Amino acid sequence: MEIFDILERIDLFKGVSLTSRKALASVCISRHIKKNEMLFHEGDSGDNLFILVTGSVRIFKSGGGDRETVIKLIKPGEIFAEAVLFELATYPASALSLKTGLVYKIPKRQFHDLLDKADFRNDFIFTLMQKQRYLADRLHTAAAFDVEERLIRFLVDHYGKREEYRIDISKKDIASAIGTIPETLSRVLARMERDGTLTVTGKTIRFKKQIPFQSMQ
């Protein structure tokens, strides 16, 4: 499948004009990624932004010792590392592939050339506003909801609305993504099993009680 066809199917670009998609496709460079492959490290020269087509990518910052803070788990159809387009010369965080997949790199210099065109620039500003809303929603979720509801919201956001989830990332990554630690996540899952909300079998979580999806709009 050609990159233009891929862009047409990615949610992020559904509202982008045909002309802008063609212009973006013309500068994209494909890259197959392996599980546990580093796409870039925090502090590396920020030469590219990325579109994830398949797979999953963890964006994180390193702290003291082995501490890491997950900023976001990137899903197919999302753009990331766009911070290097403007004020930053280096990547402000690291990116690790959690499974095999495909990304398209967009060289920063060529993307700047596209931003000189008013139509493309307006389309891209729209995508940045979507990212800003995501970050604001995440801050609200961390402040307003307990770990159990943050877990449910993460599953719905990452995998969609369903009764059964086949988890393909580590408990550590999930815990960090919802603002807690693996031990707390394990205790929450155990409590939810005891009260009959769900069952956990290996890497599969199955809800026995209906999740109130309507409250998550």
**Complete domains list, the chain, with CATH:** 3-142 (2.60.120.10), 146-216 (1.10.10.10)
Give the number of other Cβ atoms within 10 Å of residue 152's Cβ.
Answer: 21
- In terms of DSSP bridges, do strands 164-166 and 29-33 run parallel, antiparallel, or are they unpaired? unpaired
Nearest to 31 by CA among 41, 40, 18, 23: 40
Which of the four pLDDT bands, split at 50, 70 and 90, describes residue 68? Answer: confident
Q: pLDDT at position 138, please?
A: 57
Nearest to 140 by CA among 152, 129, 150: 150
Q: Is the pLDDT of residue 168 over 60?
A: yes
Of the chain, the percentage scoring pLDDT greater than 90 comes to 35
Q: pLDDT at position 148, please?
A: 87
Mean pLDDT across 149-168: 86
Name the average pLDDT for the chain.
Answer: 82
Length of the chain: 217
Q: pLDDT at position 149, please?
A: 85
Give the whole-angstrom CA distance, residue 77 versus residue 93.
Answer: 20
pTM exceeds 0.85 for this model: no
DSSP letters spanning 58-81? EEEEE-STT-EEEEEEE-TT-EE-
Q: pLDDT at position 134, please?
A: 57
Whether 106 and 49 have beta carbons less than 8 Å apart is answered as: yes
Q: Token pair 């802008």 is at which residue?
A: 20
pLDDT tens-digit readout, 173-184:
888 788 788 899
Q: pLDDT at position 213, please?
A: 47
Helix (H) or strand (E) holding 125: helix 118-144
Give the whole-angstrom CA distance, residue 143 versus residue 145.
Answer: 6
Q: What are phi and psi of 77, to 5 degrees?
A: 95, 5
Q: pLDDT at position 205, please?
A: 93
Q: Name the residue type at position 30.
A: S
pLDDT tens-digit readout, 1-53:
577 777 777 665 666 678 888 888 899 999 999 999 999 999 999 999 999 98
Which of the four pLDDT bands, split at 50, 70 and 90, describes residue 59? Answer: very high
What 8-state DSSP symbol labels residue 102? E
